[in-house]
Structure 1
């Protein structure tokens, strides 16, 4: 085994060769740090400048260890590459170079080809069980899977956003090599793999950084999860940037989605992370960086990041499909059709307008390409943050949902599906954790109190019906099941739309630009884009129960839902709950007749 340079990964345990490992811990509040091994022996780490403690020891891969702090407590490595069990178990030395990749020459896919399928590894049964799903997803037309966070969290059940050891893949899902094999298998099927990462906070259970590295946090600024992380410090910035590089270089993930970057009060950190990633990754690779950002900061998408999850688009669609206007949907209650049109024509609905709290939100986004926005009908948040985790298949008129799916899969924005969407899964996706004691009680009550702003849960007794996040039954209820009849019909629609997208839209997305969107009637609109080859793509959508008059469209039909033979109002107008996609002709004209349903 060749020796490697420890400076490549300054935090944690880095394997140098077959027998030696370099251990490093940033512990500026500690007086003494020791390496505590599974055989009961203890070896001191040597103090270095700027709060570091380091040592090189005869510890081969597989060694179990903890760090001792001032002879008072023993803690896992905050940069543990794997855990022997839960967060309080021993950390494990991992040799990332030992895995033999079956598809070492994979270089990824261009961003404009992305059709993303978000999933929760635990609900689907672990890394190996997800691997079994990959052929079906590739055949459907998915081009990338996105894993909800897998950094080690307390217990065996969690969404992943309560992680405390971000370098260690969750042990209850499988081993580091199991995760690598999942990614390797995906690459063999032409699928990219994205990881959702959480750099805005640590979970409430199992985080010992306050004891020996309080400088990780700044008490003068707080987030919804507590004291903000202090990204002004070089050691803190490197902790998270090196984590991003580990996932991309050692595990060969094809991209990262940064969770809630609006809670990272340091735009310079976000820029540096993106730049370091671009510098360290092989320029021949396609590496995707996307964000979730409540602030709608278009400037992040101008250079450093490929795209943002477009919550505005989802929220407007959700109001149109369900009529719900509680809580944050109130921002879309008055003009959801116009706001959806603004998203399709300009990216964000909120580009500086005031929200329901009177606060300006967002930046102008009309100059960005459509591919800078990830559009979705559902995701883990928008389902799981409901009291009972209902999916749109249980909330919306089925034909309206199908019509919205046409928009999702044929618009030039990047489509994201949530696991089970393509099966019309009737099961909920609930919020679940596996906390214990007082923390479990606090999470349960906090979860129920979140819904006080919703009219259906204004009464405390009503909120008691909300499922307990810590109950194993809550986790089990979130596993998507298949209703064969509904699943086959829905999968057929997804398969057909993704085939059309792949053939007639994806090749022409580079250089595409929005031409605007027009409201036709409440719930109905027309959106137009200029594709990279100069053709016009047009989508006419009616999510209302009323037909909409409309002059004939002078473009070739690409897809119509429902099919003309089943339409309640055939002709140039839009039937209730309908969608029509059309393309401008070029010479030679594509054989659209052979592709239309």
Structure 2
């Protein structure tokens, strides 16, 4: 059915019926704007208040169009719904209401059930090929897939964080209809679909906003990507809020992960976005909003947002597993086990303490529930921002990796896996782009210069060996290999853990609260949580190579041990995790 008038977006082109579209462009710097309809029509748009140009005109779904500013060449619509010829080509009219959903009554899943699998659509072969992976992931125990950003970026391959047209799903991944089909199929399997969105900057190639809407940016504030986006202007804030609503309503995504919101220098925008999303949802719909935020603003997680990627917990775990302590890991060089204990019991490790640069970071977070934090060992950043893109399987003993994985999969926090992790994937995940000429040179040399401060790349010849992001071989080397045999060691291990999570924990997680965490060794701790039914979840973790003394749980506990060695006396084996579920009032007897 056609879109109702109350859902018409302010920005972009919207189909009013099968042969009429309403076009709207905010171009406050322009004297005139013409709609260029392929092959050769030029139709003037009427100017109204505050720099808007708009018109309702005859145009069919699939028509190609652009905007001519002051008589110049046609430019793509900044709110284009599809760019079949890339960021510099004409836009294409799309009718999102034309897709007939096979699962129209899907309302989502409760957040405490989330087990997230982050993936890159391009590396897996596009929307259609990702859809083929869904039955395997559902059988594994995954309940949500998270797609790295889809907004149209320059070229054919990119992580997605260089996007310049955030309303247009990347053309090299497939059509908008194929994206709908992927989401529809996921819902049929009981899988949520989350999307990573980038609202803090535009990429370096293909963003034309500055030519006719300079007020979109605040020239007095600068970011690593240039002038800051001016979220204080209603037209700018609406642009991104409408983008969020498009993904959630037209494509029926089940949630969004907002990239690097610490780079959004506006105290009101995030709250406005969260409130608009909640107000726009149909009754009963479950949609989840997740943040990446270096500032650890716990206050954002009390009302408008549901969770945050817990980089503090990841960084502590990474240092414990690898002993690496350069770059941002320097904040976790000292007492990483104490920082991990604080994360498990209170959420963030940094709750106002000074970081390595002497700046206070974070807010108190102990009042938040465990499911306000997404816990992971690997993701696109933590693997791909390494010079050589190595995964943990190459950086730490496999026994230690299994122990840490057990913690992530069976803690009350929301677990996240990165594509290939469940298969023991050994392929790297490298930083890749598809830039050309001077921009390609700048990206390649900038990438290598980033690592000059690291001891391993102090030698210029060593830095020169860092893969060129623009080389096709870099992209191809990053394709994860998934197993044909689900009984192989790593898939079977993850399936066992996720089965335990589903059978023993999920129904008891609503209302869960932390009871504290105690350090029992240089790389060992005990953490406890009170579950909804009064039972106690306890996790004893030892990431060190030697056994550590540990007061084992009482015999009444249901236990799962991940270790190469059995329990012996009151000692936790090396590289082990003991997960225990105690009744609400366990008898005071010793563990057998």
* Structure 1 length-normalised TM: 0.96
- CA shift digits 1:42-83 (9 cap, x unpaired): 111110110000011110111100100111232100000001
Q: Equivalent residue of 2:519, what SS?
A: strand
C-alpha separation in 2, matches of 1:321 and 1:373: 21
Q: Is the 8 A contact 2:15 2:94 kept in 1?
A: yes
Q: Is the 8 A contact 1:313 1:340 kept in 2?
A: yes
Counterpart for residue 590 of structure 2 = none
Counterpart for residue 592 of structure 1 = none
* Alignment pair present for 1:513 and 2:513: yes
C-alpha separation in 2, matches of 1:514 and 1:50: 51
* Alignment pair present for 1:585 and 2:583: yes
Note the 1:390-429 alignment, pairs <5 A.
Answer: 390-429=390-429
Q: CA deviation at 1:84?
A: 1.9
- CA shift digits 1:314-373 (9 cap, x unpaired): 000000001100111000001110000010010000001111101110000001000000
Q: Is the 8 A contact 2:74 2:90 kept in 1?
A: no
Note the 1:518-597 alignment, pairs <5 A.
Answer: 518-554=518-554, 556-562=557-563, 566-567=564-565, 570-586=568-584
- Higher alpha-carbon deviation: 253-262 or 214-223: 214-223
Structure 2 unpaired stretches of 5+: 588-592
- Higher alpha-carbon deviation: 459-468 or 311-320: 459-468
Q: CA deviation at 1:158?
A: 0.2
C-alpha separation in 2, matches of 1:399 and 1:76: 52
Q: CA deviation at 1:487?
A: 7.5
Structure 1 pair 2/430, CA: closer, same or farther in 2 (3 Å)? Answer: closer
Q: Equivalent residue of 2:548, what SS?
A: coil
Structure 1 pair 35/348, CA: closer, same or farther in 2 (3 Å)? Answer: same
- CA shift digits 1:391-420 (9 cap, x unpaired): 001111000000001100100000000000
Counterpart for residue 479 of structure 1 = 479
Counterpart for residue 238 of structure 1 = 238
Q: CA deviation at 1:552?
A: 2.7
Q: CA deviation at 1:111?
A: 0.5
- Aligned length, in residue pairs: 586
Q: Equivalent residue of 1:79, what SS?
A: coil
Q: Equivalent residue of 1:24, what SS?
A: strand
C-alpha separation in 2, matches of 1:466 and 1:302: 42
Q: Equivalent residue of 2:544, what SS?
A: coil
- CA shift digits 1:220-258 (9 cap, x unpaired): 112221111000101000000000000000000000000
Structure 1 unpaired stretches of 5+: 590-597
- CA shift digits 1:150-199 (9 cap, x unpaired): 00000010000000000000000000000000000000000000000000
Q: Is the 8 A contact 2:385 2:431 kept in 1?
A: yes
C-alpha separation in 1, matches of 2:483 and 2:520: 36
Structure 1 pair 343/587, CA: closer, same or farther in 2 (3 Å)? Answer: closer
Q: Is the 8 A contact 1:312 1:348 kept in 2?
A: yes
Could you say what the CA RMSD is over the residues aligned between the two structures, in angstroms?
A: 1.5
C-alpha separation in 2, matches of 1:522 and 1:3: 60
Structure 1 pair 7/101, CA: closer, same or farther in 2 (3 Å)? Answer: closer
Note the 1:7-406 alignment, pairs <5 A.
Answer: 8-406=8-406
- CA shift digits 1:404-450 (9 cap, x unpaired): 01100100000000000100000000000000011100000111111
Q: Is the 8 A contact 1:145 1:194 kept in 2?
A: yes
Q: Is the 8 A contact 1:123 1:479 kept in 2?
A: yes
Q: CA deviation at 1:491?
A: 0.9
Structure 1 pair 120/522, CA: closer, same or farther in 2 (3 Å)? Answer: same
C-alpha separation in 2, matches of 1:90 and 1:552: 66
Q: CA deviation at 1:6?
A: 7.4
Q: Is the 8 A contact 1:6 1:14 kept in 2?
A: no
C-alpha separation in 2, matches of 1:114 and 1:252: 17
Structure 1 pair 308/3, CA: closer, same or farther in 2 (3 Å)? Answer: closer
Q: Is the 8 A contact 1:422 1:494 kept in 2?
A: yes
Counterpart for residue 459 of structure 2 = 459
Q: Is the 8 A contact 1:568 1:576 kept in 2?
A: no
